[in-house]
Structure 1
Amino acid sequence: MKVLGIIPARGGSKGIPGKNIKLLGGKPLLAYTADSATASRFLSRVILSSDNSGIISIGKEFGLEVPFVRPQELAGDGTKSLEVIQHAVKFLKEKGEEYDAVCLLQPTTPLRSSGFIDTAIEKFIQGNYDSVISVREVPAEFNPHWIFEEKDGNLKIATGETEIISRRQDLPKAYHRDGAIYITKTAVLLEQNSLYGNNIGFIDTTGSSFVNIDTPEDWEEAEKLVESGKWKEDSLGGKN
């Protein structure tokens, strides 16, 4: 199976200016994802999608291929990841290069290894899923069975049930996306216009060292994790 790795990194970050090439533990944030992706055994090709010359230069320095400069209309705050992926897939297809699936790797979730990427791709292939995403377990207090929505001035259980589950032990597990990895069949991306499809597999990263960098506080947490080195040994980091 041919799997294309796509690393999206635009230049317009507002929360942390220059985030994608800002130094984290002595090297650009983008480099963490580039190093893991280029070391993967299952990614047929790894490309960078960026609108920014500085990011492109750093990406090439760390082994990423840059077949195009991302159009400005796909580099705004409101641009969806799906649109960025579709653009890359269609661009390569016009050049005669087609892939069975795409693996999206966001630089803002830097603490993952090539082993983690390959484990996720193996699960994707073996399970014949439409997609595989990484998730973390939702704490009991945020489980949808314990969440209420406001409707017409009243509270209703978010799941639509009329009776709340009283015991924490009886709650079914619930998960949220953590952004570390998305793997999707190309046909699902293009024909269903979806990043997920109907048959969604998952990799549970609960309990591993993790950060999704969006705010200065997230960056500080990332600095602590990188300095400690612990992430290299746990289930999300693994060993390259």
Structure 2
Amino acid sequence: MKILGLIPARGGSKGIPGKNIKPLRGKPLLQYTIEAAKRSNLLYRIVLSSDDEEIMATARKLGLEAPFQRPVELAGDSSSSLEAVKHALRSFLEYGEKYDAVCLLQPTSPLRREGLIDEAIEKFCSGDFDSVMTVREVPAEYNPHWVFEEKDRGLKIATGETEIITRRQDLPKAYHRDGGIYLTKAEVLLEQDSLYGKNIGFVDTTGDPYVNIDTPQDWEEAEKLLQDLNLEL
């Protein structure tokens, strides 16, 4: 299967200015994801999707291809990752290069364990999945069976059930996306306009070091995590 590794890194971040190329423990944030992608044995090609010339130049210095520049209208605060992925696929189709799937690797999730990308690809290829993504288990107190929504000035169980599951041990496992990997069939992306499709597989990263960098506080947490990991090596 021909899988494109796509690293999206737009300019203009407001929460952390220039975060994609800002040094994190001595390396540009972008470099952590580039290194993880290059350790994969199953990605056919790895490229950058960016609107920003400085980010593109940095990526090239780090050995990452940047074969096209993403249009500014697809790189705003309200722009979706899906649009960036579709733009990349269509750009390659114009060059006569077709891919079966895209593995989206966001720089804001810099901590991926060794072999994680290939583990996700192997699961994707061995099952009848539209997509595979990395997830982490939701703590019991946030399990959807214990979450409530407003209704008629009162509350209802978010799952639609009428009776509350009283014991933690009886709660079914629930997961949230961790942002590390989104692997999706090209036809689902282009024809269904979806990053997920209907049949979604997953790789559980619960227990792995984790941070998703959106705020200065997240950045500080990433600095501390990387310092602790270095001490353990």
Per the alignment, residue 216 of structure 2 pairs with: 216
After superposition, the C-alpha distances for 1:11-70 in whole angstroms (9 at most, x for unaligned) are 110111110000011010000001111221011001100111111011111111111111
Per the alignment, residue 138 of structure 1 pairs with: 138
Number of residues paired by the alignment? 233
- Give, in angstroms, the shift of residue 230 of structure 1: 5.9
Which residues of 2 match residues 1-240 of structure 1 at below 5 A?
1-113=1-113, 115-229=115-229
Normalising by structure 2, report the TM-score. 0.97
Normalising by structure 1, report the TM-score. 0.94
Code of the residue aligned with 2:218 in structure 1: it is D
Code of the residue aligned with 2:39 in structure 1: it is A
Determine the C-alpha separation between the residues in 2 that align with 1:230 and 1:160: 46
- Give, in angstroms, the shift of residue 102 of structure 1: 0.3
Determine the C-alpha separation between the residues in 2 that align with 1:166 and 1:224: 37
Code of the residue aligned with 1:204 in structure 2: it is D
- Give, in angstroms, the shift of residue 171 of structure 1: 0.3
Mark the runs of 5 or more structure 2 residues left unpaired by the alignment: none
Query: Residues 11 and 28 from structure 1, CA distance in 2 versus in 1: closer, same or farther, beyond 3 angstroms?
Result: same
- Give, in angstroms, the shift of residue 128 of structure 1: 2.6
Q: Secondary structure at the match of 1:229?
A: helix
Code of the residue aligned with 2:31 in structure 1: it is A
- Identity in percent: 67
Per the alignment, residue 236 of structure 1 pairs with: none
- Give, in angstroms, the shift of residue 114 of structure 1: 5.3
- Give, in angstroms, the shift of residue 229 of structure 1: 2.0
Report if the CA contact (8 A) 2:136-2:205 is conserved. yes
Mark the runs of 5 or more structure 1 residues left unpaired by the alignment: 234-240
Code of the residue aligned with 1:7 in structure 2: it is I
Report if the CA contact (8 A) 2:113-2:208 is conserved. no
